[in-house]
Structure 1
Amino acid sequence: MDNVVAKKVTAMFNHRRLNRSRSSLFTAFAASVISLIVFAIFIVSHVLVRDISEVVRIEIKTVVPYLPLRSEKEQSNYTITVTESNNLHVLDVFGGRDVSEKFQQRATEFLRDDCEVNFMMTWISPAEMFGKREILSVESVFKSHPRGCLIILSSTMDSPLGFRILKPFLDRGYRVAAITPDLPYLLKDTAGETWLEEIQTGKRDPGKISLAQNLSNLMRLAYLFKFGGVYLDTDMIVLKSFKHLRNVIGAQTLEPVSRNWTRLNNAVLIFDKNHPLLLKCIEEFALTFNGNVWGHNGPYLVSRVARAVEGTEGYNFTVMTPSAFYSVNWVEIEKLFKVPRTEKDLKRVRVKVLEMQRRSYGLHLWNKFSSKFEIEQGSAMDKIVTDHCVICEKVTAS
């Protein structure tokens, strides 16, 4: 009996030891599994954090440069790495050391009270590219304004070669001068001054579109705000006197039914000195600058501002219909360069030319599209060139 009891007791303790052993093994195994899971979670989370941080960094790099200045001031520690692709060296073309006093003096001396109308153009390409089409634009200014004055803001044309290009006009007594611009001076005490400093220091991304083109958009606004007058693109042919035009901008397109303007163009700007619309445009340029969208800082900008302030007290300006400056769009401009091949085409061209003679102050040639077209003898453009030249050297291609 005692032996039986002893065996049972021994078996019970052995069973408990086995259970404890199994429990210890299970605990150890469970602990190992948990450790592996924790380690795996750590690794995965670490990878995810790295991936997320990289995405955020890319988003910041992409988005922040185009936020309004107010937002950028709140992130004062943000700096863009400037690369060669930004083409920041073009800033030198728009003013630098020892330019300011010379620019002020030369511009003030040139813009005399006896100027019939003060015109201004910009030229950001090399002087040798100032070709016959650009010369034709200058000729048309003086054909309609013999006592007018024309400043070409350009560091490349303000050179011996530029002087030789313009000398035929000077020899005939016309008042034209190429002057190296001083953009910092023109932007002083405007929102554009801060924007320019941020571009220069790398706190603003100039974007993929030519910085020079965007600086030209800004400079025409700043110049007119400082001096007033008429800005013209170098592919604008003046057809009649601008003498009686004041505070004017031209519409490029109209809504078909209401005939209200839908888009303006900044190829022609006619404004008094210190006009509030110009100051508002400079402010809009600085606050919403986007160097990656064509037209955002140019024609679309003046459209946005004009729409916002139109009818507001103090903002007195006139939006002229497309017939004033943009009677022929860039799709149809080729027809003026070619001799009509059919009676139908001939009739259309004649109607368009008659319309321009009655209603247009200028003709935009859209050189970006039309420079490849030669002016055929007997075409509408051939007659326009003949009627609005003062030197009258034959112009065929650009």
Structure 2
Amino acid sequence: MFETLTDRLQGAFRKFGSRGIVTEEDLDQALREVRMAMLEADVNFRVVREFTARVREKALGAEVLRSLTPAQQVIDIVHQELVDILGGEAPKLATASRPPTVIMLVGLQGSGKTTSAAKLANLLKKQRLRPLLAACDIYRPAAVDQLVTLARTLDVPIHEEGTSVKPAVIAQNALEKAKRMGATHLIVDTAGRLHIDDDMMNEVAELRRLLDPAEVLFVADAMAGQDAVNAAKEFHERVGTTGLILTKMDGDARGGAALSIRAVTGVPVKFIGVGEKADALEPFYPDRLASRILGMGDLLTLIEKAKETMGEEDTDAFKDKLKRGTFDLQDFVDQLRKVRKMGPSASSSPCSPASTASRCSSRSTTSTTASSPRPRPSSSP
């Protein structure tokens, strides 16, 4: 999603060159490139204006201009500002003082609400919690059936009463059921529309009043660009959202919504959807996403995926075989299969933006040389 933005930002930073001092003219030229890169990535223009102003103010300090590596320090300032835009520290789900903790999912139709509800239930289940799903979207014909199917696939309990009962009644009955069965969380899938209307807002506001949820998560389609930002702002003002779930972050969108939505609404992004599978929902870490945007990679997420894919027993067995020298071809094939299960890597570029163009190009040259066939030795005696 962020490849274009990453390339443009790296190009802007390379213009600093290897000089020991960054002048005000150098900084303004680089920030113009940063501004254009963010606008082309569909970042809200007010967010871009405030972002570049803060970077310029901090970067013009004497400590940066007299540094031996000023370009790297400017990049560090940009990284910190990106982290601040995205919310600073990684937010956590709120927990009710008495179970169950009610989590409402709201948003427009087609944003991935129903799928995200199932993914969130699966994530909580992996944490040894006991979630209950509630199907309150009675207007989209397949919504209830879809959630029931997902719940059965994931072996998660669900409360549904078809499409003839009012959502408020279904939600209240689901809350009572969650209390009886000792559920730790109640995840409520609410109805959406193709556009924001008063009936939908009134219904969601009524559910919020009845359930008093600890979390009201707005589910936004990251590929919708500024439309997702505007919808998130509207829901926050009229319903009072507490967090965001960005879906389709594995798509080919330009990524502007991820940067804009937090800054415009003031509501933290708590989860991101990175695929269609049930386990393709990840907690949101602002510092990791900022590193990805700047091309620094996201090794922590990659390590966590590896740990989840390869359990402790597999790891111990792998270490033991390496020590005893019994690691064979079949073991190697098994390892490759587990790597494939991890999905796409978190970073598309191994080169840090602090590196110069020559370092990145030399790495590519080295890789190409290493992969080229070596001349075979002569067979003559």
**Same fold by TM-score greater than 0.5:** no
Which one has the largest radius of gyration?
Answer: 1
Normalised to the residue count of structure 2, the TM-score between the two structures is 0.27
Normalised to the residue count of structure 1, the TM-score between the two structures is 0.26
Greater RCO, CA 8 A, separation 6+: 2
